[in-house]
Structure 1
């Protein structure tokens, strides 16, 4: 049955899974031993390889499970399901893989963040804060206007650099430090907005100085009244909390909102919006921020929560429990 349906026998599918698990374990052992001696680029590259091998284990495990299912049901009306031993063995394979991937990720994170990321992000934010302080301290006079513009431009650049630095390192920041760093960046952006608004005071000082030079007989030119900006509150994204039976509805709603809101958005924007739509515990347990795109993340979530036979069995078992 498996040969006819999947092109391979159950034995072949199990062998492929064994090879995938072996390659994953070998890479995990290598990273575990050598992480402390690797430099930044090596750590990122080797962990990326490990993540790819973990996906291969997941795919091979699913294929093996599908092969087992083809050997179970033979009649059209017969309910197709694996026995408890087979189902437990499939789940154990993924639990062990996910646990090992999480352990290695913590080791890589500890090295990357303590040796490289923390210093880089702290420096970027501190430099932006200093630039904002210098601009804020500039006296509001007509003669200082050009100098203030230069200071403001530098502050803008350093705030942007700090934002990029935090984004680049976000997936490697320890959970207990994330809120503090994001809070500092938020304060920086507010500071920058206040500095932008302060430009009006320099313009006013310059106009007063020009009027004094022109004399009382010359009337100043009328200034344009700024138009109010209307901000539309964005639609909140649906949140997936790990309940299997809600997975496909959540995925459909999320993809629908994506098409409506930003059909041509960048890969990074789409990825971060998807991460915001998934419970933080799930993101942390599955290491979702380590994947390169929203498509990769959706595939991982599909493998873990989107198996329709499993969802159907849960609903049936739940209904039976309520009827008892």
Structure 2
């Protein structure tokens, strides 16, 4: 096959990008922990905000820096010597950013930071440190798996091509023997695998959640749970979605925790004001026999039904798209 991208080329590119992302995540984690351990505490003024979905990279002088969050803030503060210092594009989690939003604008307020006393230092917003670290740890796990799978695909694809070339040389020495190879469209193959993989993953969680909901409605136990946390996340369209953390005791007296679990905007407004919880308890139904099952918030049960329906619909759409792409991939595959 001549020209075009091969599957091994895509796999190699994804593996390299994965390694680069892991290096950037490790550097950001080290920066956060160093600021928290050795930095001085002060407050910084927000002077601007950014959204970086397509190019999560910035430069501090000549040094590249990975932006591990979708949103970032420009900050200005004074160092120990009284000089004013600034840093653009300091990553911030959606949970921390949401209460700072007024419509689609960010309030220009002061936030607590810790930062080491260095000219090119990137500050850490202290209340947001745990959320960023947790996100980076989870994201790094997915990147490791993705890079490992891409590297495996590269090795298999490259090894297969090498074996076919050698087999073709040997076969060419014998009469009437012609090597057989298949050209499989790499872009269609990758899209097919992504769609079917996402459909399978979403289908598994959607079915499991749906079965748990049906069981809870049928024979779940009723109790009152403490609301231990409220989180807000800014979406792509600048809308804010809400989740809460719950804690309660089951029939045996053991303490259970679940969260974050999604709630509707209307229910979020009922239990909070200005991003601060005003209600500390809510009635729930849960499964005694399955501690991992997501409890049903009685006052927000309609939202649970809506979310289950959306999950099933998305699974069906991705499955149909994956099957259609698989059929097109097979049809467009040909002997080389």
Q: TM-score range by the shorter chain?
A: under 0.3
Structure with greater strand share of residues: 2
- Select the structure with the greater relative contact order (CA < 8 A; seq sep ≥ 6): 2
Please say which structure displays the higher CA radius of gyration.
1
TM-score (norm 1): 0.22
